């Protein structure tokens, strides 16, 4: 019986083979002499998978080995590492036992006294390193030292946003006594008042588009008329209506953020829209215009019930639909229904009758106004937000020679706020 030759490889070759990929995340520990002699070239492509953020040769002298005397990170708390110029990682500090780190943000504000900027660290802890602080600290990256932010905050921090333009750090979490939000002034090194008083539930994320700051979490909002003043209470703050003024809204739908189909498509991929049967008029036969308000109009074949299908391969959450009628050549839809996918459920919807101003519900034949002064109508899903992979819209009745639409937008479950 033949035997395979022994597998062997020299250590320098192993290092040369892997170093282009591992050097950025390798610690500075030298390779131990006891590494198994493995010929990786006989194994084809080799991948390393798992839950890790760095790699090192396995040896007792590695700073990441629990048995190492050089280990300075915690085995029962969270630790912050910094990547050094040579590609290795060094420990900045660890939390107290049982502590967790949930959020980081880096500030290079001109008000900071750190030449390399400041790292803000938030979570659920009472100390990091030798610095005592409740759930938030700052680390000067010029000398890798920690500083407390006054008394910290009274509950766990879930998210941080460093606003370098205004030299501020927004802190969100679960500390209801202060409205679940806190604002640190880098310039004055002190906590400052939240302009709108805070929110009435935990804040999970804070982000910005450069001009506005957005908050998300488990809180409720009272939808008030647009105003330049903010309400100083933890249960309300001013919301800005996003719907165009000629939209027939229902309830708070005017404040909901429209989720346009192109934005869904770019994140979810493989989204398709079809509509038919279509008119033989070329300028009105492209269903893609329905994805973008103001881009054009789609018309169905004359005197024919038509269907618009939007299908994707990922879920998204929607609370309703904003539908714009055709208003072309005396044509337009007057009644429709919507079926959600993938559960094939025909949806009950709530809308405001543009003529009477009263709220109504519909299911089989949802009325669409043919008044050209009404740019669009909002229809909210009566049973609340739904997880969808698509929807089917059937245009059942019409005026003129047949049905048609100008756009279909889904309404998200988020709001636009000042």
Q: How many whole angstroms separate alpha carbon 59 and alpha carbon 69? A: 12
Q: Is 276 exposed, middle or buried (0-12, 13-18, 19+ CB in 10 A)?
A: middle
Q: How many whole angstroms separate alpha carbon 118 and alpha carbon 100? A: 20
Residue 400 and residue 333 share a domain: yes
Q: How many whole angstroms separate alpha carbon 324 and alpha carbon 327? A: 9
Range of the domain at 16: 1-64
Q: What one-character DSSP code corresponds to residue 177?
A: G
Strand duo 359-362 + 366-367: pairing: unpaired
Q: Would you say residue 224 lies in a domain?
A: no
Residue 171 belongs to domain with CATH number: 2.130.10.10
Q: Total domain count for the chain?
A: 3
- Domain-terminating residue out of 217, 238, 269: 217
Q: Would you say residue 75 lies in a domain?
A: no
Residue 392 and residue 320 share a domain: yes
Q: Would you say residue 72 lies in a domain?
A: no
Residue 130 and residue 6 share a domain: no
Q: Which of 45, 47, 15, 42 is nearest to 30 (CA)?
A: 15
User: Token pair for residue 157?
Assistant: 């921090």
Residue 375 belongs to domain with CATH number: 2.60.120.260
CA dihedral 127, 128, 129, 131 (to 10 degrees): -50
Residue 407 and residue 284 share a domain: yes
Secondary structure (DSSP) of 229-254: S---SSS---B---S-TTEE--TTGG
Q: How many CB atoms lie within 10 A of CB 44?
A: 6
Collapsed DSSP state (helix, strand, coil) of residue 410? strand
Collapsed DSSP state (helix, strand, coil) of residue 187? coil
As a whole number of Å, the CA-based R_g of the chain is: 29
Backbone angles phi, psi at 317, to 5 degrees: -100, 130
pTM over 0.85: no
Residue 110 and residue 40 share a domain: no
Q: Would you say residue 82 lies in a domain?
A: no
Q: How many whole angstroms separate alpha carbon 127 and alpha carbon 24? A: 30
Q: How many whole angstroms separate alpha carbon 202 and alpha carbon 144? A: 31
Question: How far, in Å, are 103, 116, 202, 219, 258 from residue 182 at the CA level?
Answer: 14, 24, 12, 15, 29
Q: Would you say residue 174 lies in a domain?
A: yes
User: Token pair for residue 116?
Assistant: 């390399």
- Domain-terminating residue out of 64, 80, 103: 64
Q: How many CB atoms lie within 10 A of CB 138?
A: 23
Beta-bridge partner residues of 172: 159, 181
Sign of the four-CA dihedral 116, 118, 123, 126: positive
Q: Would you say residue 85 lies in a domain?
A: no
- Domain-terminating residue out of 199, 217, 235: 217
Residue 191 and residue 339 share a domain: no
Q: Would you say residue 223 lies in a domain?
A: no
Residue 176 and residue 113 share a domain: yes
Residue 406 and residue 339 share a domain: yes
Residue 168 and residue 253 share a domain: no
pLDDT along the chain (418 residues), means of 10: 36 30 43 66 75 63 53 72 73 90 88 76 93 94 90 94 92 85 93 85 87 80 46 44 84 76 44 89 93 91 94 82 95 97 95 94 96 95 90 96 94 60
Residue 260 and residue 315 share a domain: yes
Q: Would you say residue 233 lies in a domain?
A: no
Q: Note the pLDDT of residue 388.
A: 87
Q: How many whole angstroms separate alpha carbon 418 and alpha carbon 238? A: 6
Q: How many CB atoms lie within 10 A of CB 216?
A: 13
Largest CA distance in the chain: 93
8 A C-beta contact, residue 54 and residue 46: no
Residue 199 and residue 267 share a domain: no
Residue 151 and residue 23 share a domain: no
Collapsed DSSP state (helix, strand, coil) of residue 38? coil
Q: Note the pLDDT of residue 380.
A: 95
């Amino acid at each position: 019986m033949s035997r395979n030759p022994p597998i062997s490889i020299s250590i320098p070759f192993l290092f040369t083979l892997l170093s282009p990929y591992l050097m950025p995340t390798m610690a500075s520990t030298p390779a131990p002499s006891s590494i198994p002699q493995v010929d990786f070239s006989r194994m084809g492509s080799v991948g390393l998978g798992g839950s890790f953020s760095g790699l090192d040769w396995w040896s007792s002298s590695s700073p990441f080995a629990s048995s190492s005397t050089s280990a300075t990170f915690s085995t029962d708390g969270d630790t912050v590492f910094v990547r050094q110029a040579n590609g290795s990682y060094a420990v900045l500090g660890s939390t107290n036992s049982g502590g967790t780190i949930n959020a980081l943000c880096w500030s290079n504000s001109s008000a900071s006294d750190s030449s390399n900027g400041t790292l803000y660290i938030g979570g659920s802890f009472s100390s990091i390193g030798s610095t005592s602080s409740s759930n938030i600290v700052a680390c000067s990256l010029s000398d890798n030292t920690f500083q407390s932010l006054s008394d910290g905050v009274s509950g766990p921090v879930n998210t941080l946003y460093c606003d370098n333009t205004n030299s501020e750090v927004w802190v969100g979490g679960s500390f209801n006594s202060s409205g679940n939000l806190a604002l640190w002034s880098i310039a004055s090194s002190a906590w400052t008042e939240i302009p709108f008083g805070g929110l009435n539930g935990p804040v999970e994320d804070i982000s910005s588009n450069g001009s506005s700051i957005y908050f998300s979490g488990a809180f409720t909002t009272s939808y008030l008329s647009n105003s330049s003043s903010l309400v100083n209470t933890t249960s309300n703050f001013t919301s800005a209506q996003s719907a165009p003024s000629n939209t027939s809204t229902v309830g708070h739908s005017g404040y909901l953020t429209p989720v346009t189909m192109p934005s869904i498509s770019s994140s979810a991929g493989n989204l398709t829209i079809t509509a038919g049967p279509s008119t033989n008029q070329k300028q009105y036969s492209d269903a893609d215009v329905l994805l973008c308000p103001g881009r054009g109009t789609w018309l169905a074949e004359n005197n024919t019930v038509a269907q618009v299908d939007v299908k994707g391969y990922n879920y998204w959450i929607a609370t309703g639909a904003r539908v714009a009628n055709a208003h072309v050549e005396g044509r337009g839809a007057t009644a429709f229904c919507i079926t959600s996918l993938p559960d094939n459920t025909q949806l009950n919807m709530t809308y405001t009758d543009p003529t009477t101003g009263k709220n109504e519900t519909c299911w089989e034949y949802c009325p669409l106004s043919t008044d050209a002064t009404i740019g669009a109508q909002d229809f909210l899903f009566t049973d609340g937000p739904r997880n969808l992979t698509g929807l089917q819209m059937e245009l059942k009745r019409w005026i003129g020679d047949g049905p048609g639409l100008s756009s279909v937008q889904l309404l998200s479950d988020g709001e636009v706020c000042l």
